Amino acid sequence: MGMTITEKILADHCGKKEVSPGELIMAKVDLVLANDVTAPIAIKEFEKTGAKDVFDKTKIALVPDHFTPNKDINSAEQAKLVRDFAKKYGIVNYFEIGEMGIEHALLPEKGLVVPGDLVIGADSHTCTYGALGAFATGVGSTDVAACFLTGQAWFKVPESIKFIVYGKRKSFVYGKDIILYIIGKIGVDGALYKAMEFEGEGISELSMDSRFSITNMAIEAGGKSGIIAPDDKTIEFVKTRAKREWKIYYSDKDAKYSEIYEINLSDVEPQVAFPHLPENTKPVSESTNVKIDQVVIGSCTNGRMEDMRITAKILRGKKVAPYVRLIIIPATQEIYKNCIKEGLVDIFIDAGAVVSTPTCGPCLGGHMGILAKGEKAIATTNRNFVGRMGHPESEVYLSNPAVAAASAVLGRIGSPEELGIKESE
């Protein structure tokens, strides 16, 4: 029996010729990461071991991004603990204010994740890196502490689900809509502890930025990981960034999957996830009666350059509706700089938006956009749980950047077509 791309990566990293679902393994990692929320716990556990050094100063990434720039004394103390640890052990890949970004956009941009890698991170959206053909998954802070020491982590080899995406993409449909559509079909536990493997012409046609959006939200379906086999676009992305060699894996034709789903893009229009779960999806055409108070465009899901350009396309020459707050957050400093160079920041500000330095910020109710009781927001973020962005009686709706930007102008959830905008223009 053949193996999936996930099984092949795990087998190579644990020194076996083959592995099968359900098998427990110890595997070497290529990169372990943590942020200002999760690293402090890992650091404290690491220090308890009495270890004199980390396993490899080049294979640890620390990115304070959740509450930075620090919003209060507690977050400042958290960030200081991470900073002091990085200094003490000479952590090479430490990124703070001025050169930082949202971790899951920053690390691929820096070439720190490449195809064939095994990556763990103390953040559930570590699965983002699967867009590069890597096995990447979120773990607990204590697992990260152990990995700081040993360079290894244990895994139960997951079953894989295959999603074959085909057909012609409709206007203003992007990776975000594809993954929301899938989550709407299978539910938030539909891929529980399984590797979600995406393929087909509908995937190969997508940009890398859109692919990152898909794998980023595998966790919202309960997935252990999301993964897309590398192609020419993948190699084009990594070849000018990669800090080391990579290895490409593909699933065997006779690999076994627990389920196989086929998604026809002709059935998919821009999606909106209603409160309070990402599975509560509706087409945007059925979502236009929701008035909004706030719009957030950014996050590790949709804060990349493509997302910024889409947003600017919708906002150019338009004004944000009265009493609606529009917050735009480029995911990295490099993306922020490119927005300035391309004149996008002017478009955003002229429309009435505020533009922030890179931060997770409002996505997790951190800062830079907390909701009051009864307020409603549409966001390009990844979760809309109760109280996720502020007051427990606020509401968060999820969408792609085009829908979010159009909604900011309309003052309610709506589509770019309502503003007379065509994607091809």
**pLDDT of res. 99:** 84
Domain 270-419 classification at class level: alpha beta
**pLDDT of res. 425:** 62
pLDDT tens-digit map of 319-348: 999 999 999 999 999 999 999 999 999 999
Which neighbouring-strand residues pair with 137?
Answer: 120
Spacing of C-alpha 20 from chain mean position: 27
Question: 239, exposed or middle or buried, with CB in 10 Å at 0-12, 13-18, 19+?
Answer: exposed
pLDDT tens-digit map of 399-424: 999 999 999 999 999 999 999 998 87
Domain regions of the chain by residue span? 5-263, 270-419
**pLDDT of res. 364:** 87
Instruction: Using alpha carbons, list the distances in angstroms from residue 176 to 197, 239, 247, 300, 355.
Output: 16, 25, 27, 12, 22
Helices (H), 23-125: 39-48, 73-89, 103-109
**pLDDT of res. 251:** 97
DSSP SS3 for 4: coil
**pLDDT of res. 100:** 83
CA distance 173 to 170: 6
5-263 matches 270-419 in fold = yes
Q: HSE on the CB side for 278, CA within 13 Å?
A: 28
- Quote the DSSP letter at residue 371: B
Spatial CB neighbours of 158, under 8 Å, sequence gap ≥ 6: 6, 21, 193, 194, 195, 224, 225
**pLDDT of res. 68:** 87
Kindly report the pTM of this predicted structure: 0.94
Spatial CB neighbours of 151, under 8 Å, sequence gap ≥ 6: 28, 29, 32, 55, 56, 59
Ranges in the chain, pLDDT < 50: none
CATH number given to 5-263: 3.30.499.10
